[in-house]
Amino acid sequence: MTNKQMCESPSFYRIQVKGTLDESWSDWFDGFTVTQEDGKTLLEGQVIDQAALLGILAKINDLGLVILTVMRM
């Protein structure tokens, strides 16, 4: 698999941010599941390509949340 194919195929991501959001934010984050643990929020879901991932990260930034980890599963 080439680098381009990896970036353009749908992938599952787990993003951890500092602070808490409740499940009602799921729709705003394109259907990602939203769970809280110890003052942090875990966002998990599938994105269709790198542009969609950047959109999710931009939404996190717009809320002023600190991104702790981004993991491609």
pLDDT tens track for 37-69: 999 999 999 999 999 999 999 999 999 999 999
Identify the structural domains of the chain with CATH numbers, from first to last: 3-72 (3.30.70)
* Three-class SS of the chain: CCHHHHHHCCEEEEEEEECCCCHHHCCCCCCCEEEEECCEEEEEEEECCHHHHHHHHHHHHHCCCEEEEEEEC
pTM score, two decimals? 0.85
| pLDDT confidence band for 9 (50 / 70 / 90) | confident
